[in-house]
Every structure is written in structure tokens, then in C-alpha cells.
Chain A
Amino acid sequence: MLSSAGFAKTWQYIQLFKEGLICTLSLSALTVVFGFILALIIALVRLSKVKPFDWLATAYVEVFRATPMLVQLFIVYYVIFANATLPTFKLFGFIRFERFLPGVVALSMNSGAYLSEIIRAGIQSIDVGQTEASRSLGLTGVQTMKNIILPQAIKNILPAIANEFVTIIKESSICYTIGVQEIMYAVNATKGATYRIAEPLIIATLVYFCLTFPTSKIIAFFERRMSRGDKR
């Protein structure tokens, strides 16, 4: 059970948690960026209705949404990257790149599937009158998407994208299973060294909470302010 001696022991390994925090944040930030780019491509392909591509994109989204994240992560790490020889340098001096990269790829592919649905809905929510006005001025379909539709759609879904960041922070913990040195990895390593489990888990809980709770509150605040701006 919990004890002050246990905390004292765990505290000796606090450096691992600091590194875990940096790793979790890098993992999540990169995932949001790459996930977003992937999601945008998937959403545009699906909306383009160009037959085989549209079908493939739909299949991609459905498969990723219907299977467990852990299975996806293992397939990426143990199958797709199995024969790839990745450079073995260490990010920030400690993050093993050859494990970090597959983690980012798997999380991004998963997040991209979910975000694409959000982006697609965001694009579809823009009044067709916007497209008609733009096309009637002689702008091409691509120019219309870039200058008229996407700026409005992205602004509308910004809170949803920020919430996805919070979700990814939590879900990225799964990457400890392939040896990415994020927060749960620190828990495991501390457990191995101290034979304590409760105290490292409490610390991990606190770190996750301090990351996600304020972020969610800040997003909610801006969401309220933005919707007020739209009403006037």
C-alpha cells in the first residue's frame, strides 16, 4: 500500500517522470500535427467522391475506428516497421527514436481516422451559398476550398481538434508497450527498481491530470467565447 517510505523511494526516480512528461508531450504534439494533416487529406478525398480513392479512404476510417488501438500499435511496430532499419539516435538525449517513430505513426494513423470525420463534418456544415458565391466569382474548386471553406471549417472545429490533443495525451500511454519512454514507461521502470507500484501510479495520475484538466478547461473557455462572438 501507500507509504511515505514508498514515495521517498519513488522520488529518487523522479527524473524518469520528467523525461516521461517530455516524451508524452512530444508524442502527442507530433501526433496532433501529423494526424491533422492525414485527416485533412482523408476528409478531402472522401468529399471529392473520386471513386476508388473515396472508397479506400472510407475503408481506412472504418477499419481504424473498429479495431483496438493496441492492435494497431503492434501491427505498426512489429509488422510494418519490423524490417525497417531506423536510425538509433536519441531525441533530447534520451528518447529512443526507433521506438518513438512507430509510436507517432500508429497514433497519427489512429487519430487521423477520427479527426477526418470531424473535419468532414466541419466542411459539410459550411453553407453551400459560400461555395456558390465563390465559384460565381470565378474561383476554382481548389481556390474555394482553400480560401473560403477550410478557414471557416477549421475555425469551427478548433475546439474539437484541441480536445483530440487531450485524448491523445491519454491514449499515448499505450506506447509504453513498445518501449517508448513516456509517463507509463517511467511507472514501469520505477516499479522494477523499487518494487513499488502504487506510488509511481499516483504520480503518473497527477502528471496526466495536471496536463489534461487545465487544457480541457482552457479549450472550454475559448469555445464559449467563440460561440458568443458568432451570436452578435
Chain B
Amino acid sequence: MATNAELIKVTDLCKYYKDGSLKALNGVSSTIDKGDVVVIIGPSGSGKSTFLRCLNLLEQPTSGSVVFNGIDITKKTYVNSEGKTVKLNIDEHRRSMGMVFQHFNLFPHMTVLDNMTLAPIKVKKMNKAEAEKKAKALLKRVGLEDRADAYPIQLSGGQKQRVAIVRALMMEPQVMLFDEPTSALDPEMVGEVLQVMAELANTGMTMVIVTHEMGFAREVGKRIIFMDGGKIVEEGTPQQIFGNPQSPRLKDFLKKVL
């Protein structure tokens, strides 16, 4: 049932490696609505990252579709509102999907401020002063207003990840994708990043989060997806998934991680 709140609709997504002998994704379907906070959990190698990376086409799916704002972005062309077939520009769609990586991937040769303003200036043609003003306001929101001129190497892991999050927010994305944002952090820094993410969820941002932080998943997640072997095995509210798991594989997984 399609609602007008539907943002991303994934249908029968497959991603094969090694000429098909490795099925990282083996027929995944799901819908992400506006304002959804979807947390993806599952054992290592179950295809969580691959799924996330297929959403913004960092990985080209082998088959299946990813419909974003009504347009299948896995295809080379699409039919526009006037009924004409036009070339699909993936960069345009990626702008509306922020992504945060496990290893931050800040640009080491640029200051925090330049990291944040690069894409708005180059892609959105925002003027520099406006971009910097916006960046500083966002830095303030995550408690890093005094680090604007620092280089990434001068920041702690938690600070780097907070910068990576606000860097993505600079583009005012419609959805934020997180791939294990706290897995590379020292334990004492995990909290500060999760807090920023929780606040972001409270603002109504649509989020898809791959994480091993089960406490966070339970508290902040509106919907949990459990993946195993390249498939969605079980899907539901945190209460359902953590309180009343159905499949043996999920039960087994939860026993190991909780």
C-alpha cells in the first residue's frame, strides 16, 4: 500500500559478487517513509552495508529497483512529469541522501569548515559566506563551534563523526544513511555521537541506521530490520523485535549480542 509519505521503496534488490557466487543481497524489499527511523541489525556479512550502499547507488545493484521520490534511481533513464524519457543524473539524487561512514571519511586536506562548505558551494552553488554561516550554526548544534578551523587530524574520533554528520546535513538531505557510525570509536566517545543522532531523529529526519548498538536501536529506532544471508529475515517495532522475536535466527542473534 503506497502512501504519499513514502520516500524510498526498495523492491527485490539483489547484489551479487564474484560472478554471482556470492549473493550479498538476495531479494530485499522494504519501504522507508518520511520521518522513519529504520535500524538495520544482523550478523557480520549479512548484507547490511551493501543494502545501505545500494540505496544511494554507491553500489550498483545487480537487479531490483530503488525508487526514491517516485524515480527508480537504479536505471539510466526515467520518465519525467511531462511524460518524456530523460537521462537520470545520479549526483542530483545523491545530494538528497546524506551518508555517514564508519571511518568518518573527512577530507584530511581541508579544515572542518571547508569540509562542510565544499559540497554546498560546488554542488548547490551556495555563496561562501552563506555556506559558512550555515556550517557554523550546525557546528554549534553539535557543540563544535570552536573547531571550525581545525583539521580532521586534530579532532578526536567522536568529534570527527559529529563533523561528518553535520557535513552531510549541510546539503539538507531528505534521508540520512548511517553505516556503523560508532563502530570505529573508543567506547567513551560512542555516547556523544549517538546523542547527536537521537536529536536528529527527534527533529523528524528520515534515517536508516546500521548499528550494533542495541540499546540505541531499541530507544531511537521506530522500526527494526533484521538481516541475515542477504535477506530481510524479520522486521518490526523495537518491542516486537527485541521483546518477541519470531525466527530462530533472530533469537540466536539476540542471544549473542544482548
Chain A residues within CB distance 8 Å of chain B: 127, 129-130, 132-140, 143, 147-148, 151-152, 155, 232
Contact = CB atoms under 8 A, between A and B. Distances in A.
Interface string B82-122: 00000000011011011101010111110000000011001
Given A129-B103, A147-B118, A137 B109 contact: no
B78 to A, nearest CB: 17
Chain A interface mostly: helix
Contacts, number: 61
Given A132-B105, A137-B98, 9 more contacts: A127-B105, A137-B94, A137-B123, A138-B94, A138-B119, A139-B118, A147-B118, A147-B122, A152-B107
Contact of B101 (A129, A152, A155): A129
A155 B108 CA distance: 12
A136 B153 contact: no
Contact of A155 (B58, B109, B122, B171): B109
B99 A139 contact: no
B168 interface: yes
A30 B67 CA distance: 53
Contact of A137 (B108, B153, B168): B168
Contact of B58 (A136, A147, A148): A136
Nearest to B154: A232
Contacts of B92: 138
A130 B105 contact: yes
B56 interface: yes
A132, A133, A134 pick with most chain B CB within 10 angstroms: A133
A205 B239 CA distance: 82
A133 B98 contact: no
A152 B94 contact: no
Interface size class of B (residues with CB under 8 A): 20 to 34
A136 B99 contact: yes
Contacts of B223: none
B9 interface: no
A134 B118 CA distance: 9
Given A129-B103, A132-B58, A147-B118, A138 B123 contact: yes
Nearest to B56: A136
B171 A138 contact: yes
A45 B99 CA distance: 29
Contact of B95 (A130, A137, A155, A232): A137
B91 A139 contact: yes
Contacts of A143: 122-123
Nearest to A141: B91
A139 B98 CA distance: 12
Closest 3 CB pairs of A and B: A138-B95, A133-B105, A137-B119
Contact of A135 (B58, B103, B107, B122): B58
A128 to B, nearest CB: 9
Nearest to A129: B105
A232 B153 contact: yes
B167 interface: yes
A129 B95 CA distance: 17
A2 B167 CA distance: 70
B42 to A, nearest CB: 21
